[in-house]
Structure 1
Amino acid sequence: MITGPSGDIAFVRFAVLGPVRVWRGDQELDPGSRQQRLVLALLLARAGEPVGLGEFVAMLWGERPPRSATNIVHLYLGRLRRMLEPGLRPRAPGRWLAGDASGYRLMAGVEQLDLLRFRVLVERGRSAGDPAEALASFAEALHLSRGPCAGAPELTSHPVADFEAVDNEYADLMREATGVALRAGAVRTVLPFLRRVASQRPLDEALQAKLLLALVADGQQAEATALYQGLRGRLADELGMDPGRELQEAYSVALQQGTPVDPPAPADGFFVRPAQLLPDLPHFTGRSETLHRVLTLIHGRAATTPVGIVAIEGIPGVGKTSLATHLAYRVADEFPDGQLYADLRGLDPQAAEAPGDVLQGFLHALGVRGQDIPGSDSARATLYRGVLAERRMLIVLDNVRDPDQVRPLLPGGPGSLVLVTSRYSLAGLATAPEGLVLTLDVLPNDEARQLLVSRVGAAPAETDRPALDEIVERAGGLPLALAVVAARAQTRPGYRLADVARELRDARGSLDGFGSDDPDSDLRAIFSWSYRGLSPAAARLFRLLAAHPGPDVTLAAAASLAGLPATGAREVFGELVHSRLVTERRPGRYGAHDLIAAYARELMLDVESGADRDAAADRVLAYYRRTAYAANLFINAEIDADPPAQHDGVADERPADARAAAAWFAAEREVLKAVMRQANDRGRVYEAWQLELMVQGFYQREGWWHEWATVVSECLAAAERAGDRAGVAEMLRSLAGARFYVGDSESALSLLDRALEVFTELGNVSREALTLRNLGEVSFAVGDYDRSVACHHRALAMAESLGDRTAQADVLCRLADAQYEIGRHALGFEILGRALAMSEQLGDDVRRSECHLRRAGLYLREHRFAESRADWAAAQELATAVGHRVHLVRAKVGLGDTAFEAGDRPVAEAAWREAAALGTGSDPAQEAAIRRRLARLDHGAGGATA
C-alpha cells in the first residue's frame, strides 16, 4: 500500500503468471501497445532485477533495431511510469519504476507481484515437514497462474529467455507437486492444473508421465491408456522417436493398474566405444557467440529442457561442418561412450544415404555382429535405440537433406547429443523440446580477419592491413572463400596479401579469384552441388535473378523476372530457398550472398541469350512500374505519370490501401533506386523518369529529401543526354522539390523557372499549373509573398479551367498562408476553410491533413490555443490513418509548440519526444529543431518555435 501524489491511498498489483495485467486499487489498467506490454513483461519477469536498455532493444527488434530504438524504449518506460503514477512530476523519482546505471527495475514486493508470491509459496512448501502442508502451499502457488507466462499470444511467441524461465519454474513446480500428491494420495488437488500445463507442453515427456500416473491414481485407466497412445503417435510423427524411459515406465504402471515394472535391461554384451569424428581444424577461429550459446545449453543438459539435437543450417561454404566438428571436440569428453559420424550426402538426391544403411554402419561400429543386425529399417532403428538407451553418445550427421533422413538416427535415451548439418531447412527438428536449430550466417568482419590471420600469420597481416580488409570485404565473410585465398597465399612463395587482393580485384566480382584445384574447396564446384539439384524451372529462375538490380527480391518480383505464373512461382522459388542459394533476409524478402550472386551471373551469361536477359530486365522494370503506379494512386494521385501498359508475364500486385502502399514503397526503397539506375544504363530513360514520378510522393511524405535529390539528378542527367524534353522538365520540377526541402530555396526557384519554361514550350497546361504552385510555395518560403500570391492565383485559374478540383484545393491551401502574411488574416482563414471543405468533398485525407496543419499554425500565431490544438489533433489523426510520417511529425511538433506557448510544459515535452521518436534520420534539420525545443525545456527558456 502506498500513498499517491495526490494523497489518495493506491494499491498497485502486477501479474505475469499469465497475461500481463496491472491494477491500481480495484481498477485494472491498460498496459498499452504490444511492445509496451513486452517492456513491462520483461521488467516483471526479472522481479526487481535490473534490465538494461540494450536488453529491451534486443527483445523488441533483435539484430535490426531502428536508429530511434533507445528513444522509443524511453518513451515506453515514461508511459509506464505515468500509467503507474499519473500525478508524478517529470524527472521526479517514481515509487514503482526506478532507473540507474545498471538499468531499469520494477520495485514490486511479494504483495504486489504474483511471481514473487509464487516463489515464496514454493519455498514454503519445500520446507514443510508434512506432505499435506507442502501440498497446500504448492496448490496455492499453482492457483496463481492463469496460463503461460505473458500469456497473450504475441508475447508467448516472443523468444525471450526470461519469459521461458518463468514458464519453466511453473512446470518444475507442477512436476514436484504431482509427485507429492501421488505420495499423499491426493492427486485431485493438482489434476486440473496438471491437465492444463500438460496440454501446453505436449512433448514434455516427464510432465506427460506425471499426468499419466495421476490419471491412473485417480482411477481413469482408459484416459491414461489413450493419453499414452496419442503421445506415442505424436512422437513418432513429429520426431520419429519412441517414448522415453520415464514415459514407458509410467505406461507400464498404467497397464498393471499401479504395479510398477522394471524397464528392459540394456544390451551390454556387445558394446564398443567408436571414435569416428572428422579431424578438427587446427586454426578454428570465430563463431564465439554461437559456440558460447550452444555450449551453455549443452552443459545445462540436466535442466528442465535439455538440448539433445543441435541442427546447423546455412548457405554453401558458410562453415557448417567445420563448426559441428569443432563443437563435437569441445564436448566429446562429456560423452564417454564414444562418437559416431556419417556423411548423409544430402546434396545429391540420387546418392543420398538411406537411413537404414547408416543404421547398419552405426550398429557395426557399436559392436553388433552382422548376423545380429535385422533386415528391416524399423527393426534396425529399434535395436539402435536399445543399444544407446543407457549410453551417452555423441553423433554427428553431416550434409543432411531433410529431417526425415535424421529421425530414424536419433537415439531413444536422453543421455546422447546429435549434431546435424545441412544446406536445407531443418526447422522440423526444432519441434522437440530438446531440439535447437541454428542458421549460420557469414562471419562478421572482425572474425573474418581473425580467420585469415590464423591461416597466413600475424606478421603478413600486420604489414598489409588494407589488403587484409579488402580480401575480407570481397569474400563477404564466407569462411570457405577466406580459406581458399589463404591457402593460395600460403602455398606460393613470396605471394603477399596485396597480390591476393589484386587478383580478387582483377576478377571484377566473378569467382575467378576463388578457384581451387580441389573440387571440395572450389567455390564454383561447391555452389554447383546445390545448383545441380534444382528443377529446370528453378535453375532458370536462379540464373535470371542476376538480372535483378536490387539488393533483395520478393516472390512477385522474382515471378515477373522469369515470367512465371503466380500459381507456380511459389513452388519454383521455394526450391531456391530450400537449397540455400537464396535466403530470406527479412520476412518476404530474399537475397543471395554476393559470391553466390556472382555464380548466378556467370551462369546467366553462359546459358541465357542476350534477348532472354533483356526480356527478363524489361519484365522486372514493368513489374516495378505497374506496382509503383498502383501504390502511388494512394500516395500522390495527381502526379501525371502515364499508366504503364499491360506486360505479359508480369505479376499484378496492387496495394489495398494507403498504408499498404506506403509500406510497399518503404520495403522497396533500395530496389527502386537500383531499378531506375539500371533502366537509365539500358537506355530506358522514359521508363526511369516515369518511375521517379511515382516514387517522389513517397520520398516527400517520408522525408527522404537527400535520397530524392540523388535519384532525380541521375534521371535528369539521363533525360538530358537522351534529348527527352518532357523528362527534363519533369525532373527539373522534381529536383526543385528535393532541393527546397533540404533548405536550398534559391536553387529550387532556378530549377522551377527552367521547368516552367519547358512545360510552356510543350503546351502542357496541367504541369504549368503544378509548377506555378511550386513557385508560389518556394517564393513564400524566401519571403517573396507578392510573387507567391501571384503564382498561386495563376495556378488556381489554370486548375479551374482544367476542372481539376484536387489542384484547386491544394492551391487554396497554400494561398491562404501567403494572404495571411501580407496582412489579410481573415481572408487567409476563409481560404483555408474553402480548401478544407473541398478536400473533404474529394475524400482527400492527405490534403485535409495539410489544411489542418496550416490552420493550426495560424491559430497558434494568434494565441488561439484551443483551436490550434484541435487542428493539430485532427491533422495527427488523418496522418496516422494514411501513414504520412512527415505530416505526423509536423502535427506532434505543432501540438508541443501550442502546449508550450500555453504554459503546459509536460504536454509539450511528451509531444516533442513522440515527434523525435518518429524520426528516421532522413531529415537532420528537423531532428535538430526538435532537439532545440527539448533543450529549451531543460533550460527553462520561453518560446517554442525554431
Structure 2
Amino acid sequence: MGVLTRPELPPGDLRTLSEALHEAHHRAGRPSLRDLAREVGCSRTTVSAVFSEPRPPRWGLLELVVEALGADPARFHALWLRATGGMADAVERPPVPTALLRQTPSAVNGFTGRDTLVGALDQLLEPGPPAAVPIGVLTGTAGVGKTALARQWAHRRAEWYPDGTLYVDLHGYHPGPAVTAHDVLGEFIRALSPGKAAVPEGSRERAGLYRSLLAGRRILVMLDNARTAAQVEDLLPGSAGCAAVVTSRDSLGELVVHYGAVRLEVDLMKDAEAHDLLSSLVGERVTSEPGPVAELIGTCARLPLALRIAGELIDSRPGESIAEMADELRGLDLLDGVRAVFSWSYEHLEELPAQLFRRLALHPGSRFQLAGCAALLGVDLRTARTATDTLTRVHLLERLPGNRFRMHDLLRLYSTEFGETSPEASRRLFDVCCRDARAAATYSSAAADPKNRGQQWLSDERATLLAVAGVSGRHAVELSGILAAFLDAGGHYDDAETLHGLALRAATDAGERAGALDRLGLVHRRRGRFDPALAEHSEAAVLFQECGDRAGLASARQNIGIIHWRCGRYPQALDALEPALELHRQAGNRSGEGATLFNLGIVHRRLGDYPRAAACHEQAVALLEEIGDRPGLGKALNNLAALLLYRGEPEPAQTALLRGLEIQRHLGDRAGENAVLSNLGLAQEQLGRLDEAEESFRLALRIADEIAYPVGRIDALRGLGVTAARRLSFGRAAELLREAVDLAGQLGEGGSRIGATRELGEVLLAAEASAKRTSGASAGPDSRASAGPRRLVSGASAPDAFPEAAAVLAEALRAAVLAGDRYEEAMTRVALGDPLGAELLAELGLTPGASPAPAA
C-alpha cells in the first residue's frame, strides 16, 4: 500500500488531471512507489514526481504510469492535452538540434518504381489526429530493395517529421551477431538527449527513458534489417505523432498482432520497373537489345541489388553486347544467378579491390574505416582509397561519411564464400584499431581537443572495438587498458564489464590479470557492488606486488582505499591510501599521486582533520593543473569544493565547482558531472538560492539514473531532501531522505548512510516540532545564507519529546561514533541537544550552520 502526496493546485485542468491520477492510484489498490517504479521502469522519485509536482509530467512518462495503474490512456491523454493547453510543446523537455536526428542514410541514386508501395506508406504514415503509433513493416527477400524503399520514402516525406528521423541497421542477417535493442536504445537516447552520453543500465529503464524522450515530438523511427519482433519491440515509439518503419526478411507477425503494424510485401520488381532501373543506369543500350535485357533481368531475379551490379558492369563494358553478357548467365537458377551476377562484378575487379572484397569478410565489425581497409591490404591510405573507390563504384561497397564504409548483407555473405584466411591481415587490422583507439583516448583528455573529436571517434567506433576484443584475446587485453577511462566516463558500464571480463579471460601473465581485475573492480564500484570490487582490487594488489609493478600496486591500493572510505571505514582507508601515495611517487606517476591526494583529503575531512584535508586537496589541484591532467583536475576541484562547503564557504566552493563542471562536461564524464552538480546544489542551498539548488540536484539525479550510478543517486536524493526541508515540505523531505538511507544501506555506503540518517532525524524533529508550535517564526528552518555547517532545525525543543526523531538521531550518532566521523557525530549531538556537540564543532573550527557535501 502507498499514500502519495497531492500537490496544492487551484481549480482547473491541471487539478482535474492530478485528481484523476490519484483516483486511478486508489482504484488500482494504492500500489507502492517501489512497485510502480518497477513496473514503469524508472526511479521511485521520478514516479513520485508525477503524482506530487504542481506541473504536468511528460506525456510519455504519464502514459507508462497510467498503463501500470490499469487506467485508460486515451482518457488521460485528453486530460493531459487540456492541462498543457493542447500543445505538446507545453511539456518541458530538452531541446533537440534537428540536425542530430537526420540519421537516415542518403537516398539511392536512380530509384525507380515501387509507386504502389510508396502510396501505401503515404496512406499509413501520413500525420493525422492523435491515435495509435503507425508502424509499417516492409518485408521481402534479401536484396529486393526494402531498405532502398524505406530510405527513399523517408527522404521524400521528411517534412512530416520535423523533429527528425532515428535510424539503425539491426544487422539481423549479418554474419556476425545481430544488434540488440539494449544497445540501440542507448544510441537513440544519446541522439534524443544531446550531451547526455550515457544511459540506464537496464533494458526496461532504457525503454522507459527512450519513450519519455520521444513524447511530444514528431519523429520517424527506422528499424532496418530486423530478424525478429523481439529485436524491435522496445524500439517502437509510444507516443502519437511518431511513426516507425521496420524492414525485415521475416513477416514479423507478432508486430501485426500485438502492435497493430501493417505489413507491406516488397516483392520482386515488375519487369517494367526492372527495365526502368537498368535504363536509368546504362541508358539507350537497354532499348537496343530488348531480348537479352529481358533475359538478364530474369537471371538477376528482378532484385534491385543484382540489377544495379549488372547495370554497372554493362556500363563499364561498352564494346560488349548485352547478349554476350546474358549468355554467361544462361541456365542458372535464381539463387545461382544472383550469385553469378555478384561474381560477374567481382571477377572483373583488379587484384587489389578484389583482395579487399575478400578480406572484408575478416572484419568483425559492421562498418569499415579506410584505415582498417588499408591494414587488411597492407598498403597505405591512398592505395586503399583507390580500392574502396572501385568497390563503391561497382556497388560492392557503400560509402558512409567520415571515411567509413559498409556492405550489404548478401554481399558480405558472398565475400565469406571465398574462405579468405590471413592471420597477418587480421593482426594488422586489430593493431590499427588499437593504435587509433589509443590516439583518440589520449587526444580526448587533452585541452587541445575543444570539439571532442577524440571522444567522438571512440563513440563512433565503440561497437567495432568491442567486436575486435570479442575475437582476439590479445587485443582484448590491450583495449581493456585503452578504453577503460572512456567507458567509465561515459557510463558505458555494460561494455566495460564485458571488455574487462574478456581481458581477464585472455590474460597470459600476472600483470595482465591484475590490470583487468583492477579495472573490473572500478566497474563494480560504480555499480555499488563494493564487496566484489574490494575482492578484485585486493587480488590485483597481490598480483601487482608479485610482478613488481609499483604503478599497478599503487592503483590497486588507491582503489582499495576508496572502497573503504565509501563504506565508512576511515582508518582502513588511510592504511591503503598512504602507501599508495608513496608508491605513485616512487613510480613517477604524478596523475596517480594527485588522485590519491584528493582521496586522502576526503578521508581526513571525514575524520575532522580539516587543515590536513585542505593541504591534500590544494596540493592535488596544483599538481594536476601543473601536469595538465584535466580528468583528475575536474575531480580535485570538486573535492576541494566539498571541503569548502563543510567549512561554510559556499562562494569559493561555487567558483571551483563551476570550473569543475565545465571540465567534466567537456570530457563527457557523467559520474563526475553528477558529483559536481550535487555539490553545486549544496553551494546554492547554502547561499539561499533554493530554486537553483533544486535544479542542480534534479539534474544530478537524472544523470545518476541515466548511467545507473547508485552512489550519485544517494547524493542527489540527500540534496533534494535538504532543499525540501528548507521549504518546510517535511513530508517530501523525509520521503527523499528515507530513500537515500535505504539505498546507502543496500550498498554499504557508510558515510552517506550516516549523513542521510542524521538529516532524516532532523527533518522528523522539525516536522514534529512545527506541528506543535503556534508561532510561525520558530516553526523550522529558513533559506537564508549563513556561514558554517547549518542545522536543518533551529531552535527546536528537546528531541526526547519527539520519539521517532530521537530514535533516528540516536542511530545516526551510534554509526558516526563507530566510524570515527567527527563531523557527523558533532552535528548529530547538536540536533539531540547534547552540549558536547557544540564542543566538538569548536574543536573542528566550525560553528553551527551547512549540510555536508558528497565527494567525487
- Normalising by structure 1, report the TM-score: 0.44
Q: Structure with the greater relative contact order (CA < 8 A, sep ≥ 6): 1 or 2?
A: 2
- Normalising by structure 2, report the TM-score: 0.48
Rg (Cα) greater in structure: 1
